[in-house]
Structure 1
Amino acid sequence: MKVLLRNVFSAFLCFCPLLLIAQKITVDNTMPRLDEKGQIVDAHDGRIIQFGDRYYWYGTAYGNTNGFTTKNQYVSYSSSDLKNWKSHGPLLKNQPIGVHYRPHVIYNKTTKNYVLWYNWYPKLWDGQFGVAISKNPEGPFTIVNDNTSMAHSDIGLGDLGLFVDDDGSAYVSYNTIKDHQVSVEKLSDDYLSSTKENGGFIAKHMEAGAMFKRNGKYYLLTDYTCCFCNYGSGARVYISENPMTGYKLKGNINRYPGKFSGILNDGIYTGTLYETLSKHEDAFDAVEIRLEKNVKVNALNIHLFTGNRPENCGDVSNPRVHPKIEIPSFKVFKKANGEWSEVKITSQNIQKSALKSELTLTLETTEANHLKIQPSTIDYAFDEIYVNEVEIIQKDNHKTKRDDFEVFIIGKKIRPRPIIPAQQTYVMKLNTDKGEEFIWMGDLWGSASDNIKGHDYQYWSKPLEFYEDGSIKPMKWQHTWSVEAKK
């Protein structure tokens, strides 16, 4: 019996480490991240990647500069919990004189080398890529080639990101200096050079691309150029079945589609609390609805304010005091797999009352998480349409709760602002109790209270959420969040 108990106890001790592989990680976006000496982590426009049981943070240290000087230096930090960071100092041996940005490190299982790719400028803006290697993830790295030839080297090389596929093949997504054109290119087997196999340009005027793979689909996130902008850039989502080609735009997870409206789902159906849909050339502004989840929609109620018509004052020959009340017509669209398609309206009903009309559009039953209500009356008598409220009607005349959807006014002259005022730097893969999850990372330029660039904060999103079709849900600012991570 004693021997049996001892064996059971020994087995329990051996099993204990397996029980300890999960740990709770908490991210706080409201405070600067500190190293073991209490100094603010100065590592920007790079990546965090897990090697072994530690997370390694590679970035550019800017110190107290404007970011366009030869003082920029590559650095690395490491942590076991994404909270307590150990500084490993400079990353690159004999860093050449120039302006440096965007350090990214990946591991080659065959050569057992950690490989660093970086973007640097011997002279602004004569951009090129350098490659360096190390046997240790924290470095220091030794330069192999400081001017790696790429398919589009002739028009200058800008921001870059690295991605390693399941089969060990590696790719670099990058933008050119001329027109900031984004493409994906395959690396050699040792990751030290490019094969020059390039999938062609995906988009223009973009930068700061980041790639990842989920459920067999390849994701490339990028957006408009942002020169250390404190208002932030967006995060366009391109998805493909192939790592280099076939990318299609499936939305932007870091931009509001237009002007946020708290009026159109506040429960006030009449009066002068309305949103104005203005006519610009051949189209009116529209209403876009974002739902928290897929909803089966049977009908939409649109409450229109009709009391804001121009009056007739003094023209006694005019038989009318006010122009005739007209009800505009609308089209309805839904978004699926990142693309809009029209929803058939099977019937409509109008109920008129003092100063308002309620238009009910009965739809061919559809399931959606995004809806768009677009005025379709081009020859409408007025240049403005006034909307008090929008209601989503589900099965059995059930109305979607106001807290379950957001409403925006979209149009040609309405600027879609970033949700998180940060410039994208990377999408980090994190192993959690729910499997692989993905953390969007961005630099909050101009956020340091002491106005030192190297102290600017970074924003790390909670794990990205995905719709059933694989498209990504829009982000929301989170002060803090937690997850059970595995190693």
Structure 2
Amino acid sequence: PGEPWNDVDGNPIQAHGGGVLLHEGVYYWYGEDKSGPTYKKFSLTAARVDVIGVRCYSSTDLANWRDEGLVLKSTPNHPDLAPNMVLERPKVIYNDRLRTFVMWMHIDDAEYKMARAGVAVSSAATGPFKFLRSFRPNGRQSRDLNLFKDDDGTAYVIYSSEGNKDMHIAKLSPDYTDTQPQHLKIFIGRSREAPAVFKHGGLYFMLTSGCTGWEPNQAEVHWANDMFGQWNLVGHPCVGGTEMDAAYTFQSQGSFVLPVPGRPGSFIFMGDQWDPDNLAESRWTSSPCMFLSFLCCVAHEFVLQSMCRLPTRLYQVFSVAFKTSGLPGKHHVKEHG
């Protein structure tokens, strides 16, 4: 974990805060290019790198990644994409009906006062993406965000809001470029960010982190029967390694959870190990992935300790034997057979 990972040309991968899309047998990894110098614009603000853009990598095996270049570039004097702005956590989903790739991202100014979501579209997975606009979904602040596309094609944006105190879920429009009025406020006053949603056994799961800037903290897992249902706390998901590793999410902050095709119940957790002194050198948890086999263990311990009443179906989900699939990055994984 935390070791450098290069693309097939031997260059360090620059896809921070990103996510992976599987399309027609090819994986596309989108993330922030932070290869510029790290500095502080204001003494009390977090370290930053001027916006370079969103870089894309492609792979057929999740191990060897080819650099497809910048699919969304910063643009001087652009109100949202200028180098002195903030572009974070780009995520891409595919609209099957319109055959378009839709990217959402966090857009902000250097002082993080704008708190907006940006949207871009492309007819190809490798871009270029056309930036449409930035806005506040349903008039609400939007910072750390993620996308989730359900089995029926319904898509959602999940984002930190209200000064990062609350998390919001909003359903996307049919073209995935806007939000519909229906939205839900969750984790009220709990200051959670970096959401990542995945689905298993008909239930929805969300991993989040605390709000500690570039410093790692303890992740949490919640579950719900419905995206707009009640989200219930399971606990922190990490086992293995040292006690400090588990308590601080293996020194990382979650970015995305990728289902492993053909292996029901197996997922890859993607987490950034931020280096606030040199953001270009930020690396990934478990080089960079670890499988979510720990959910079974955590749920079992949580139920025993708190006597939490979970539905029978949830017990069945957590009793599934999560297995690693031979892909790289199997550090800090406990298997249950």
Is the pair's TM-score, using the shorter chain for normalization, greater than 0.5?
yes
1:455 aligned residue: 281
Residue pair 2:51, 2:74 contacting (<8 A) in 1 also: no
Shift of 1:171: 0.5
Residue 470 of structure 1: how far off its partner (Å): 3.3
Which residues of structure 2 form unaligned runs of 5+? 40-46, 76-80, 297-314, 332-337
Q: Does the Cα contact within 8 Å between 2:57 and 2:69 map onto a contact in 1?
A: yes
User: Letter of the aligned partner of 1:228 in structure 2?
Assistant: W
Quote the residue 2:48 is aligned against. 68
Return the offset for 1:246: 0.8
Residues 162 and 49 of structure 1: CA distance in aligned 2, closer, same or farther (over 3 Å): same
CA distance in 1, matches of 2:265, 2:91: 20
Matching residue of 1:190: 175
Query: Could you tell me whether the CA contact under 8 Å between 2:2 and 2:284 is conserved in 1?
Result: no
Q: Compared with structure 1, are the counterparts of its residues 472 and 181 closer, same or farther at alpha carbon in structure 2 (3 Å cutoff)?
A: farther
- SS of residue matched to 1:249: strand
Match of 1:211 in 2: 197
From 190, 199, 211, give the equivalent of 1:225: 211
Which residue does 1:350 correspond to in 2? none
For 2:165 and 2:131, locate their aligned partners in 1 and report how far apart those are by CA, in whole Å: 26
1:127-148 CA distances to partner (integer Å, 9 max, x unpaired)? 101111001111110012222x
**Once structures 1 and 2 are overlaid, which stretch shifts more, 130-139 or 193-202?**
193-202
In structure 2, how many angstroms separate the alpha carbons of the residues matched to 1:209 and 1:255?
Answer: 20
| Residue 166 of structure 2, aligned match among 167, 178, 181 | 181
**Which whole-Å CA distance do the structure 2 matches of 1:462 and 1:123 have between them?**
32
Q: Distance in 2 between matches of 1:245 and 1:152?
A: 22
Q: Give CA-to-partner distance per residue, 1:38-88, whole Å, 9 cap, x none.
A: 110011011122111211111011113245243342111111122221112
Once the 2 structures are TM-superposed, how far is the Cα of residue 456 of structure 1 from its aligned partner? 1.7
Query: SS of the residue aligned with 1:233?
Result: coil
Which residue matches 1:59?
31
Whether the 8 Å CA contact 1:250–1:471 is kept in 2: the answer is: no
Once residues 316 and 149 of structure 2 are traced to their aligned partners in structure 1, the CA distance between those partners, rounded to angstroms, is 24
Question: Are the counterparts in 2 of residues 133 and 143 from structure 1 also a CA contact under 8 Å?
Answer: yes
Partner in structure 2 of residue 168 of structure 1: 153
Q: Which residue of 2 aligns with 1:435?
A: 264
> Structure 2 vs 1, CA of residues 107 and 46 (structure 1 numbering), >3 Å: closer, same or farther?
same
In the alignment, is residue 39 of structure 1 matched against residue 11 of structure 2? Answer: yes
Match of 2:117 in 1: 129
Query: Residues 239 and 39 of structure 1: is their aligned pair in 2 closer, same or farther, counting only changes over 3 Å?
Result: same
1:103 to 76, 82, 90: 90
Structure 1 match to 2:20: 48
CA distance, structure 2, for counterparts of residue 479 and residue 420 of structure 1: 16
- Structure 1 pair 254/151, CA: closer, same or farther in 2 (3 Å)? farther
Partners of 1:202 and 1:30 in 2: CA distance:
30
The residue number in structure 1 matching 2:334 is: none
The 8 Å contact of residues 49 and 429 in structure 1, kept in 2 or not, is answered as: no
Distance 1:233 1:440 in 2: 15
2-structure distance, mates of 1:255, 1:208: 20
- Give me the whole-angstrom Cα distance separating, in 1, the residues matched to 2:233 and 2:139: 22
1:421 corresponds to: 251
Is the partner of 2:280 in helix, strand or coil? helix
Q: If each structure's strand is expressed as a fraction of its own residues, which one has the higher value?
A: 1
Asked if 2 retains the 8 angstrom alpha-carbon contact of 1:170 and 1:191, the reply is yes
- Cα RMSD after superposing both structures: 2.9
Task: Say if 1:30 and 1:479, in contact at 8 Å, map to a contact too.
Answer: no
Q: How far apart, in 2, do the equivalents of 1:70 and 1:226 lie?
A: 21
DSSP-derived class of the 1:420 partner: helix
SS in 2 for 1:173: strand
Counterpart of 1:247 (choices 222, 231, 240) is 231
Q: Is the 8 A contact 1:127 1:177 kept in 2?
A: no
Contact 1:180 1:206 in 2 (8 A): yes
Within a 5 Å distance, the mapping from 1:356-435 to structure 2 comes to 417-432=247-262, 434-435=263-264
Compared CA separation, residues 251 and 471, structure 1 to 2 (3 A): farther
Deviation at 1:178, TM superposition (A): 1.2
Matching residue's letter, 2:27: Y
- Structure number with bigger Rg: 1
Distance 2:235 2:38 in 1: 35
1:91 partner letter:
V
Superposition deviation, residue 179 in structure 1: 4.0
Aligned to 1:120: 107
- Is this contact kept in 1: 2:48–2:279, CA < 8 A? no
Distance in 2 (alpha carbons) for counterparts of 1:479 and 1:138: 24
Alpha-carbon separation, structure 1, partners of 2:2 and 2:187: 35
Q: Note the C-alpha offset of 1:152.
A: 4.7
- What pairs with 1:280-319 in structure 2 (closer than 5 Å)? none
TM-score, normalised on structure 2? Answer: 0.77
Aligned residue identity for 1:470: V
| Letter matched to residue 135 of structure 1 | S
In structure 2, the partner of 1:334 is: none
Q: Return the letter of the residue paired with 2:248.
A: P
User: In structure 2, what is the equivalent of residue 141 of structure 1?
Assistant: 129
Q: Give the aligned partner of residue 299 of structure 2.
A: none
Read off the aligned partner of 1:111 and give its amino acid letter. L
Partner amino acid, structure 2, of 1:84: N
**Match of 2:280, as an amino acid?**
G
Q: Distance in 2 between matches of 1:38 and 1:120?
A: 30
Q: For the structure 1 residues 43 and 247, does the alpha-carbon distance in structure 2 shift closer, same or farther, using more than 3 Å as the test?
A: same
Identify the match of residue 143 of structure 2 among 141, 158, 183.
158
